[in-house]
Chains A and B, each alone.
Chain A
Amino acid sequence: MPKRLAVVDPGRCVDCLLCALACSRRFGEGGLARSAIAVRSVGGVENGFVVIVCRACPDPPCAASCPVGAITKAQVGVRVNSERCIGCRTCVLSCPFGAVHWDEENNKPVICVHCGLCASFCPHNVIALEEVEGG
């Protein structure tokens, strides 16, 4: 069964950013420029956090909105064809969660591919891979 990355227990998030830093390590680099997951406080750290990452919509608006067809639906989530992408940011506007992140250095979208690397470095089990019915 295919799996998607799910935010299973946001109440335990401590804002360590180890998920976002792990995501960058996929590409063998440090920092946050190409991280597909982000954490923000809900109006101040005392109020808790939201984890902003692709939820693998069954009918993804980012793919529907791309004027050049650079975003296509995958078995889980979407895939971005960087060569086709013109960097117009329409996809960013289309996502109500803000889960289409932006690589400012290359002017391209960054969207989670649900590989689960971040979940294996979340020390407090906030995020996890979970099975998706039908993909």
Chain B
Amino acid sequence: MDKFLTRVLRIDLTKKKFWVEERADLFEKGLGGAGVAIELLHELCPKDADPLGPENPIIFAVGPLNPLFPLASKVVAMFKSPHTGNLGESHCGGRAALALRLAGFGALVIQGRSEVPVYLAIHHGRVQFRDARALWGLSSSLTVGRVLREIEPGSGARTILRIGRAGERLVTYATVIAETYRHFGRLGLGAVFGSKNLKALVISGTSTVPIPDPPRYQKVYRELWEKATRSDLMRKYHDLGTAQNIRPLNQIGALPVRNLLDTRYSPEPPFTGEQLAEEFLGRRLACSACPVACIHLAVLREPHPVEPYFYKTTFVSYDHEPLYALGSMLGMERAEDVLKLIDAVEVWGMDAITTGVTLAWATEAFARGLITERETQGLKPKWGEASVYLEMIRRIAQRDGEFYSVLGKGVKAAASRYGGEEFALHFGGNEMPGYHTGPGALLTYLSGSRHSHLDSAGYALDQECLSCGERLAPEELARRLFQEEVRRQILSSLVVCFFARGIYNLETISAALATLGIERSPAELEKLGANILRRKYAFKRREGFDLGRLSIPKRALETPTPSGRVEEEFLRRALGEMAKLVEGDDGMA
């Protein structure tokens, strides 16, 4: 194995010191990425740690395939989540994976807390602690990026990770923004940065990764490159990006609309992938090592409110999830308005999904009189009213007053303070993603180790079952999603983007690893995936998580999916089966 991959860079913000640990043991066992990060989390995060205390570690890990193979473009972050109080895991693209790997490290761990705001600059394998007091309190995360781009070296092979105001103010769903337009979006890594007085992290690297078997490497690389560039995936995500999901989901009635009171626009929302590409698309971008270029930037041209012939031009990165959360979930009727809201969460540094779902809860709670203008400080949230939502986002980011402070902890906290639990759309404390496709999606949200749609992609299984008219028994559904989540642990240990899951089957992964001198059979990989998932679950249980005690929002059960209403009893049976599987009752342990 590459001797640089096994190096773990450790940084102590309290004592302003850094050192390197050789951890071949972890990388031999867990490959990299999620497989290594979960072990470091078990080691370094004390039981019942305060997620916003100095004891909560921030762990970044890359894997053996970064950036050596196409679509091996992601880095994994693990931490204890300030949003759910449990396992925090978030993946990010951009240049972060390439920069960390080529800086000569397989993982980076940040612990402690600086007494003054700092940012970290990692160049040539050394860590500089730099004063960030002048950057603290800036209203836009974009400015932070712009400044660091100018004053730090390494252009072309570096990552600039930073937080916005929401991270500084400890909004529990604050993001860390990479380059621009990519994020560690979910579960509040931005707040953990903020709690450590850590404004940003710049990493550059251009080192060599030695290849033990170059001819085989070239061959396997070419095969994967050809599969990637000739696949449907390439066309689908290059042309329209993930926004291409909006139209088909709306057609089948699976797009959550107005806090999931409905599941479709008639005839369709004004922000489908097709419409955005026609009217707003200004640029496409790729993560390092990825030919697909799914990142789509819209150009928003706004006239100045006073000065004639004066325009402000803004680039806004759009994807399916932000379009759902800040679009359909809020009943938006104009594409420009949705883009403005997406830009606002980028500027303040907040997770788009959680922000949208929280605003949707507030809109319904206001309409039902659970909250009044006394709580909202004079604002009247209403479906489709972008200007009100923009102001609410600003107040949440600033933690402006009691009500907005509570909204800064998400819908679970908001509903337990003001009521409306039945329409507070969270699963395991994490807000609902943009698919109301059926029981598979709901089971993924409930049981996935990150409570993310990406954990086991029940939304994809739902659509597969819909198209072939199949209805799975709850136990079978649980088994299928468990297997999918097991497989994804391998991808997130390499670390390969989930979009490439159709290209990287276990045999291909085994062949790619062999070119790097890592011998793992497909069966061994599958076993490793199950082990990683169980180690994540062990952490979750340690911190008090129980699949048997999850609450399920009534709204998600009452609003029909394309295959009808999902019964609570069905989900409870599936969760029972999932509990057995994650405890190892399947012969895979």
Contacts and interface: CB of A to CB of B under 8 A. Distances in A.
A32 B205 CA distance: 8
A112 interface: no
B67 A15 contact: no
Interface stretch (B17-25, B33-41, B285-293, B460-468): B285-293
A126 to B, nearest CB: 11
Contacts of B140: none
A34 interface: yes
A16 B291 contact: yes
Interface stretch (A39-47, A53-61, A81-89, A127-135): A39-47
A17 B98 contact: yes
Contacts of B371: none
B33 to A, nearest CB: 17
A33 B67 CA distance: 13
A45 B181 contact: yes
Interface string A63-74: 000000000000
Given A28-B211, A30-B208, A45-B285, A21 B297 contact: no
Contact of B155 (A18, A35, A40, A46): A40
Main secondary structure of the interface of B (DSSP, over half): mixed
Contacts of A31: 101-102, 206-209
B157 interface: yes
B284 A14 contact: yes
Interface residues of A, number: 31
Contact of A17 (B145, B283, B289): B289
Main secondary structure of the interface of A (DSSP, over half): loop
B293 A30 contact: no
A25 interface: yes
B113 to A, nearest CB: 31
Interface string B187-230: 00000000000000000011111110011011001000100010
A25 B289 contact: no
Contacts of A44: 145-146, 149, 180
B206 A104 contact: yes
Contacts of B206: 31-33, 35, 104
Nearest to A122: B291
B70 interface: yes
Contact of A16 (B209, B215, B293, B315): B293
Contact of A28 (B146, B214, B288): B214
B284 A30 contact: no
A32 B180 contact: no
A105 B221 contact: no
Nearest to B145: A44
A10 interface: no
Interface in B92-110: 98, 101-102
A34 B208 contact: yes
B305 interface: no
Contacts of B267: none
Interface string A9-29: 000001111100100110011
Interface string B148-176: 01000001110000000000000000000
A15 B101 CA distance: 18
Given A29-B209, A31-B102, A32-B102, A18 B180 contact: no
A124 B67 CA distance: 19
Given A16-B287, A38-B156, A46 B208 contact: no
A41 B288 CA distance: 13
B364 interface: no
A28 B146 CA distance: 36
A118 to B, nearest CB: 13
B179 interface: yes
A42 to B, nearest CB: 11
A27 B67 CA distance: 16
Contacts of A39: 156
B207 A45 contact: no
B211 A45 contact: no
Contacts of B67: 17, 21, 30
Nearest to B68: A30
Contacts of A123: 229, 234, 291, 293
Given A14-B286, A16-B289, A105 B217 contact: no
Given A32-B208, A44-B180, 4 more contacts: A24-B208, A25-B218, A34-B208, A124-B293
30 contacts: A14-B295, A15-B285, A15-B286, A16-B286, A16-B293, A18-B225, A21-B67, A25-B214, A25-B217, A25-B218, A25-B221, A28-B217, A31-B101, A31-B102, A31-B209, A32-B208, A33-B208, A38-B157, A41-B155, A44-B149, A45-B179, A45-B285, A46-B315, A48-B283, A52-B156, A123-B229, A123-B291, A123-B293, A124-B291, A124-B293
